């Protein structure tokens, strides 16, 4: 799936990923390939984007995620 | 006719002025490029936000969100005035000030007379000008123009939103120059709060989204976020417009200096020629007197 991590100033991450872990308001959750469409609030915590061979972590204060057709857009 | 020395001094001072305006123009062009890149960089974020908002439009009437949309009588007004910190950019700041005055003398006259208009100036020039006209200015945000990052802008706007929700203001409006292209700025005053019933037909894609935790809770986060983004966008627009305006103003100034120089050089050469002619005729006259 394709993941984009956007801030008003910049695009922090843009690329393919296998698993992404997000800090949801009701607890941390993971998204994988072919997830159902979703819009969710995020609270402060860390986002982990896992690709085949590497993992990137970002700290956020709050955010919003939209999943649609194997495209994950995270707004922080 | 002015003497040669005077003209020479004026020529050299005009040349150095021209060099300065030329340099300022180049600097502005570079800054303009940077500023418009910042606008481009934030576009995907703003668009996505709009898109999500569109998907949640049907829930905006929930009573928990009424604070944002409910139109109250505009008794207490907050005007956010975005100008630049520096001058030499044509009518850039004057236009903003003029619009603010028009608003204060027109729509918000009653609120002004009751002392319920707060002017929050972002950028030194607007604050200074409005103060000269005798308006009271809240200068809390004046420094926001320098290195405006999303974070500082969001923080400032969040404060304004909180004050609005607690009833300190009934209406929040922002006056700034919208960036169209390098040579064109559009002066606008946008109402930020209450949020006008959105005429924007954000395409409602009917995907059966899961909402986590629920639509209203998402909107409670989304609405301030999009207001913050609007405000930040206004700041970036104003910054880009400022550099555009300065670039045009300095280009004109360079051109004018060139014209002035041409006129001065002509006058200088005329004066020089006249002096030579006079000298020759004096010599010729002197020789004739000796021969006589």
The confidence score (pLDDT) of residue B32 equals 94
Q: Does B56 touch chain A (CB under 8 A)?
A: yes
Q: Which residues of B touch A36 (CB under 8 A)?
A: 208, 210
pLDDT, chain A, mean: 92
pLDDT digits (tens, 9 = 90+) for B57-93: 777 777 878 888 888 888 889 999 999 998 899 999 9
The confidence score (pLDDT) of residue B164 equals 92
Band of the pLDDT at B204, cuts 50, 70, 90? low
Q: What is the mean pLDDT of residues B160-188?
A: 91
The confidence score (pLDDT) of residue B197 equals 63
Does residue B139 have a pLDDT over 70?
Answer: no
Band of the pLDDT at B149, cuts 50, 70, 90? confident
**pLDDT greater at residue B7 or residue B54:** B7
Of how many residues is chain B composed? 292
pLDDT digits (tens, 9 = 90+) for B110-127: 888 888 888 989 888 888
Q: Where are the domains of chain B?
A: 4-21+253-286, 24-196+209-250
Nearest of B48, B11, B3 to residue B261 by alpha carbon: B11
pTM for the structure as a whole: 0.87
CB B187 within 8 A of CB B177: yes
| HSE-up of residue B92 (Cα within 13 Å, Cβ side) | 33
Q: Which helix (H) or strand (E) holds A31?
A: strand A27-32
Q: Does A19 touch chain B (CB under 8 A)?
A: no
Inter-chain residue contact B212 with A73, CB threshold 8 Å: no
CB B65 within 8 A of CB B99: no
Q: Which residues of A touch B222 (CB under 8 A)?
A: 64
Q: What is the mean pLDDT of residues B135-158?
A: 79
Inter-chain residue contact B49 with A11, CB threshold 8 Å: no
pLDDT digits (tens, 9 = 90+) for A43-66: 999 999 998 888 999 999 989 999
The domain of A65 spans: 2-75
pLDDT, chain B, mean: 88
Number of domain units in chain A: 1
Does residue B231 have a pLDDT over 80?
Answer: yes
Inter-chain residue contact B209 with A37, CB threshold 8 Å: yes
Inter-chain residue contact B213 with A25, CB threshold 8 Å: yes
Q: Which helix (H) or strand (E) holds B120?
A: strand B117-122
Distance between CA atoms of B79 and B286, rounded to whole angstroms? 79
pLDDT digits (tens, 9 = 90+) for B10-29: 999 999 999 999 999 999 99
Q: Which residues of B touch A73 (CB under 8 A)?
A: 48
The confidence score (pLDDT) of residue B19 equals 97
The beta-carbon neighbor of B207 closest among A8, A37, A62 is: A37
The beta-carbon neighbor of A7 closest among B38, B150, B221 is: B150
**pLDDT greater at residue B204 or residue A75:** A75
Q: Which residues of B touch A41 (CB under 8 A)?
A: 212-213, 217-218, 221
User: Which of B56, B209, B222, B226 to probe the A interface (max A CBs under 10 A)?
Assistant: B209
Band of the pLDDT at B287, cuts 50, 70, 90? very high
CATH architecture of B24-196+209-250: 3-Layer(aba) Sandwich (3.40)
The confidence score (pLDDT) of residue A30 equals 93
**Gap from B167 CA to chain A (nearest CA, Å):** 26
The beta-carbon neighbor of B52 closest among A11, A25, A39 is: A39
CATH of the domain at A49: 2.60.15.10
């Amino acid at each position: 799936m394709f993941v984009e991590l956007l801030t008003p100033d910049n695009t922090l991450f843009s690329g393919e990923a296998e698993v992404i872990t997000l800090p949801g308001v009701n607890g941390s959750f993971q998204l994988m390939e072919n997830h159902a469409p979703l819009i969710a609030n995020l609270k402060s915590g860390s986002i982990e984007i896992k690709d085949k061979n590497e993992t990137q972590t970002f700290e956020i204060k709050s955010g919003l995620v939209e999943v649609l057709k194997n495209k994950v857009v995270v707004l922080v | 006719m002015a003497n040669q020395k005077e003209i020479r001094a004026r020529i050299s001072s005009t040349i150095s002025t021209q060099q300065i305006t030329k340099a300022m123009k180049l600097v502005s062009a570079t800054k303009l490029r940077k500023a418009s890149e910042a606008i481009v960089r934030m576009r995907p974020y703003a668009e996505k936000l709009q898109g999500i908002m569109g998907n949640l439009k049907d829930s905006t009437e929930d009573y928990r969100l009424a604070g944002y949309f409910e139109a109250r009588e505009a008794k207490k007004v907050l005007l956010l005035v975005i100008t630049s910190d520096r001058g030499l950019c044509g009518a850039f700041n004057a236009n903003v000030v003029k619009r603010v005055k028009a608003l204060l003398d027109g729509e918000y006259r009653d609120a002004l007379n009751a002392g319920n208009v707060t002017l929050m100036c972002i950028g030194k020039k607007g604050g200074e000008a409005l103060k000269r006209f005798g308006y009271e200015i809240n200068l809390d945000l004046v420094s926001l123009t320098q290195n405006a990052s999303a974070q500082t802008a969001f923080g400032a706007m969040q404060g304004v939103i909180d004050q609005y929700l607690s009833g300190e203001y009934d209406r929040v409006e922002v006056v700034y120059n919208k960036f169209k292209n390098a040579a064109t700025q559009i002066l606008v005053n946008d109402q930020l709060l209450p949020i006008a019933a959105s005429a924007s037909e954000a395409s409602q894609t009917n995907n059966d989204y899961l909402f986590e935790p629920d639509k209203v809770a998402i909107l409670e986060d989304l609405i301030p976020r999009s207001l913050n983004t609007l405000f930040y966008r206004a700041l970036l627009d104003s910054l880009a417009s400022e550099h555009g305006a300065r670039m045009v103003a300095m280009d004109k100034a360079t051109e004018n200096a060139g014209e002035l120089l041409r006129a001065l050089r002509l006058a200088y050469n005329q004066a020089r020629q006249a002096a030579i002619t006079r000298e020759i005729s004096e010599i010729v006259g002197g020789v004739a007197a000796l021969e006589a």
